[in-house]
Amino acid sequence: MPRRLVFAAILLTASAIPALAAPPDDATKSALVKIAGYSSMDSPAFNYLTQLSDDIGPRVTGSPQSQKAIDWGLAQMKAIGLENVRAEKYPVWKGWTRGTAEASILSPTPRKLSVAAMGWTGSTPSGGVDAELATASVFNLPDAIKSAKSYRGKVVFLWAQGRPTGNLNIGIIFSQIGEFLRAANREGALAVLTGDYGFKPEGLGLVHTGILGFAKDFSIPFGELPREDYSQIERYLLAGKTVRVHVNIQNHFTDGPLESANVVGEIPGREHPEQIVVVGGHLDSWDLSEGTTDNGFGVAATLAAADAIIKSGARPRRTIRFVLFTGEEEGLLGSLAYVKQHAGEMQNHLAAVILDNGQGPVREFQLGGRADLIEAFTPFAASLQNIRDINVSDKIELETDTAPFILLGLPGINLDQDSPEYKYTHHSAADAMEAAKPDILAQDATVMALAAFWIADREQRLASPWPADRTARVLRENGLYDMLEALGLWTFGNAGQPDSQ
């Protein structure tokens, strides 16, 4: 199509988009309409996703493919026209490479099992081990730790039997599993088999891998099973039958630390370039498939959002910094490194806008505990209703790269998505291009671009970081203290307690 016809088509598309009523500044509204038009017309988002998924593939942090993805991200940002494009390096405590994994039931009824190792876990002796299963319930791991000697010479089957007690939640269970693994390994357990952190996995025929601690590795071999294999073992054990298994897992650790990097590029602000809105997703993935939905989708949306803003010619009042984080899957390593490296700038950060909830359309702006911003944000969300109805809440999402920003009192804005199939695709062999739809990805990139520009171009600054005591109080009020303390992320001491006000 001739260039003038393309431009005319963009203008036609933009004119069909309803006026965006939230920003009071007419120039901001005009810029948002242009961005929406460029984002809607011939979006490059799916092309980015295809390249990342098919040409680079799985991107475990610290691997050669992860470095290839970093180089690719730098090249894409430069091609888009972002400024100050760079790789911000940080250390990773240890590298890990998946090897082979096999398992089978030897008795009571022999059959082969599907199994995949969890990340940063160890290996059996060459040729594997044959042993009887012993059980440990994720609902009572403190007792299992105390009786760890009973697992000597056994393969542990981690399951969810009994009832959870007290304030037990998945974050606390996550931390207790790590403690249990160290105790079991120390006392001579041979390996661990389970489903998803002790629970039945979602889907059939799908194994979900993952990490077992924030920046932690474990010498004991640890294998994840699909739902049908987990359930058969569970039925045998509940029937009182003795189960013997064969497990052979071979993985590789590096001898020491290695290096990774976040990929960063900017659109500098025209009036307040020192004030920054972060927009991003995580570039790393697991390695059982292509890493399309976790989180190639967020990476592609981030780049496409940057592309639309650049093409529009609009320059925001404040800087929009696009960041492709690495190390998210190993414990938010990249985003934690970012806030540490930019500690001197964090008072000038306004927000972080993150997309990392799979392959569905955005359904909610979750403001990370910042209830004070709902009134300002709601009219903007309402102005997008002809794109999609999007709610606004102060929900706190700590399981992605929003967390380090929230912990600093900033709105870590999670673009929550309607992704019912994500529970199947994430960390599994189903995390591939077949799960993604171009129209939904383009829509999400549009929402991300509009939200980023609106925050950056408001006449009044949207937000500043809260003081630590206020952040601590909100985290406690949302029942997050125990989980953050268990994960080693609580840095507030006694702040936020009622008697500390």
pTM over 0.85: yes
Please, is 393 exposed, middle or buried when counting C-beta atoms within 10 Å of its C-beta (0-12, 13-18, 19+)? middle
- From residue 52, alpha-carbon distances to 59, 66, 257, 295 in Å are 9, 11, 26, 10
Q: Is 107 in the same domain as 88?
A: no
Q: Which amino acid is at 491?
A: T
Q: What is the pLDDT of residue 500?
A: 52
Q: Is 84 in the same domain as 129?
A: no
Count the helices and strands in the chain (H runs, E runs). Answer: 15, 18
Q: Is residue 480 part of a domain?
A: no
- Could you tell me the mean pLDDT of each successive run of 10 residues in the chain, 501 residues long? 33 37 67 95 96 98 98 98 98 98 98 98 98 97 96 98 84 93 98 96 95 96 98 98 98 97 98 98 98 98 98 98 98 98 98 98 98 97 95 98 98 98 97 97 98 97 97 97 93 86 51
What is the Cα–Cα distance from 488 to 479, expressed in whole angstroms? 16
What is the Cα–Cα distance from 219 to 217, expressed in whole angstroms? 7
What is the Cα–Cα distance from 56 to 498, expressed in whole angstroms? 51
Q: Is 90 in the same domain as 172?
A: no
CATH number at residue 107: 3.50.30.30
Q: Is residue 263 part of a domain?
A: yes
Q: Is 101 in the same domain as 127?
A: yes
Q: Is residue 479 part of a domain?
A: no
Q: Is residue 485 part of a domain?
A: no
Under a CB-based contact definition with an 8 Å cutoff, are residues 404 and 42 in contact? no
The first and second tokens of residue 132, run together, are 């009887």
Q: Is 187 in the same domain as 214?
A: yes
Q: Which amino acid is at 389?
A: D
CATH number at residue 413: 3.40.630.10
The boundaries of the domain holding residue 42 are: 15-94+257-466
What is the Cα–Cα distance from 303 to 452, expressed in whole angstroms? 12
Q: What is the pLDDT of residue 6?
A: 31
Q: Is 194 in the same domain as 206?
A: yes
Q: Is residue 487 part of a domain?
A: no
Q: Is residue 490 part of a domain?
A: no
The first and second tokens of residue 448, run together, are 């991300």
3-state secondary structure 361-411: CEEEEECCCCHHHHHHHHHHHHCCCCCCCCEEECCCCCCCCCHHHHHCCCC
Q: What is the pLDDT of residue 17?
A: 40
Under a CB-based contact definition with an 8 Å cutoff, are residues 346 and 277 in contact? no
Q: Is 329 in the same domain as 435?
A: yes
The first and second tokens of residue 5, run together, are 């016809």
Check residue 124 and report its DSSP letter.
P
Check residue 256 and report its DSSP letter.
S
Helix (H, G, I), strand (E, B) or coil at 119: coil
Under a CB-based contact definition with an 8 Å cutoff, are residues 374 and 390 in contact? no
Q: What is the pLDDT of residue 27?
A: 83
Helix (H, G, I), strand (E, B) or coil at 99: coil
What is the Cα–Cα distance from 416 to 363, expressed in whole angstroms? 6
Question: Which of 238, 253, 268 is at the close of a domain?
Answer: 253
Strands 111-113 and 349-354: unpaired
Q: Nearest to residue 34, comparing CAs of 230, 308, 408?
A: 308
Q: Is residue 417 part of a domain?
A: yes
Question: Which of 203, 221, 253 is at the close of a domain?
Answer: 253
Strands 111-113 and 83-92: unpaired
Q: Is 360 in the same domain as 262?
A: yes
Q: Is 88 in the same domain as 225?
A: no
Q: Is 314 in the same domain as 342?
A: yes
Q: Is residue 476 part of a domain?
A: no
The first and second tokens of residue 354, run together, are 């993150």
Q: Is 194 in the same domain as 316?
A: no
Question: Which of 214, 238, 253 is at the close of a domain?
Answer: 253
Contacts of 22 (CB under 8 A, 6+ apart): 379, 380, 381, 382, 383, 454
Q: Is 336 in the same domain as 281?
A: yes
Q: How many domains does the chain have?
A: 2
- From residue 342, alpha-carbon distances to 380, 395, 408 in Å are 29, 25, 12
What is the Cα–Cα distance from 393 to 366, expressed in whole angstroms? 5
